[in-house]
Amino acid sequence: MSITITPVSAGFVAQVTQVDLNALDDALWAKIYAAFLEYAVLVFPEQHLTDAAQGLFAERFGTIEQLNSKQKSPNVQISNKKPDGRLAQPDEYQYQILKGNEGWHTDSTYMPLASKAAMLTAVELPSSGGETGFADMRAAWDALSPEKQAMIEPLYAHHSLYYSQAKAGFVHKTEGHYGLHNKGAPLRAIVKTHPETGRKSIYTGRHAYAISGLSDVDSERLLKDLLDAACQAPRVYTHQWSVGDTVVWDNRCVLHRARPYDRREPRVLRGTRIAGDPTTELAPTAPDPRAENFVPAALNQ
């Protein structure tokens, strides 16, 4: 039995079958990673990975991003279900973060070190809804006119989870939750050159704000226009989950978002983030007025 990699109609997604992610040799891994760089989103149906197996597979992509120093697993639950079985309520942080994630974003751009890649495995699903959407920001860049490309390529924007959550209607304090930190708002180029493929892509998402050199109004308008134009067919794919699916994507050139579902039903995905290379994903930061006790930039690593 040999691995099969089948392109999906969106053009930047491939379904990978006839492979057991629990038993990868170096040759199979090389094929998977080559497909990861080519397509940017890989779908592995019916893998049913355990927590440990998902962590081992994620480690092949790089260093696991530590989301919580107290956790014993490299993975986290992306879920509206609490450990005791209760479902998160609208006034709770867990619910509010999940609602915010329904906006297009790239993982960890609000941290000094952004994410390289991420993966999700479906554990428990609602009766309908709860899909995950993906958008190819390489194709979005290619679709811009040369004049628009030249205009946006020199620009930089700040990124903040405080900002994006406030836009979604939720105000948070600096209280130890991942992303709601006091290290400052990273300043990132709006156009990113992929460190491995050399392809350019639009690098914004819901966490981006305050483009350097522009007024707040002009910055908001430009970022919204770019995002609205980018995340349109034929550059988008929506994954309909089945329990046991694993999906991995390249955070350096793809945006993603959760889709709505009935919050009276559980939705449990097991997530893992892979940290970016500090030589290409570590960004300088500026004070974020929403954070308490800002830490100077020298301490931001």
What residue type is 128 in one-letter code?
A: S
Write the Ramachandran bin of 40: left for phi over 0, alpha for psi from -120 to 50, otherwise beta.
Answer: left
Q: What is the pLDDT of residue 66?
A: 72
Helix/strand/coil for 261: strand
Helix/strand/coil for 213: coil
Closest CA to 109 of 16, 3, 202, 13: 202
Q: What is the pLDDT of residue 289?
A: 85
- List, for residues 121-178, the tens digit of each pLDDT value: 999 999 999 999 999 999 999 999 999 999 999 999 999 999 999 999 999 998 778 8
Helix/strand/coil for 148: helix
What is the number of other CB atoms lying within 10 angstroms of the CB of residue 235? 22
All residue ranges of the chain with pLDDT < 70 are 1, 67-71, 293-301
Q: What is the pLDDT of residue 176?
A: 77
Alpha-carbon torsion 178, 250, 301, 163, what sign? negative
**Domains in the chain: boundaries:** 4-299
Q: What is the pLDDT of residue 73?
A: 82
**CATH homologous superfamily of 4-299:** Clavaminate synthase-like (3.60.130.10)
Q: What is the pLDDT of residue 230?
A: 97
Tokens of 276: 């970016």
Q: What is the pLDDT of residue 300?
A: 41
State pTM to two decimals.
0.95
Closest CA to 226 of 144, 126, 107: 144
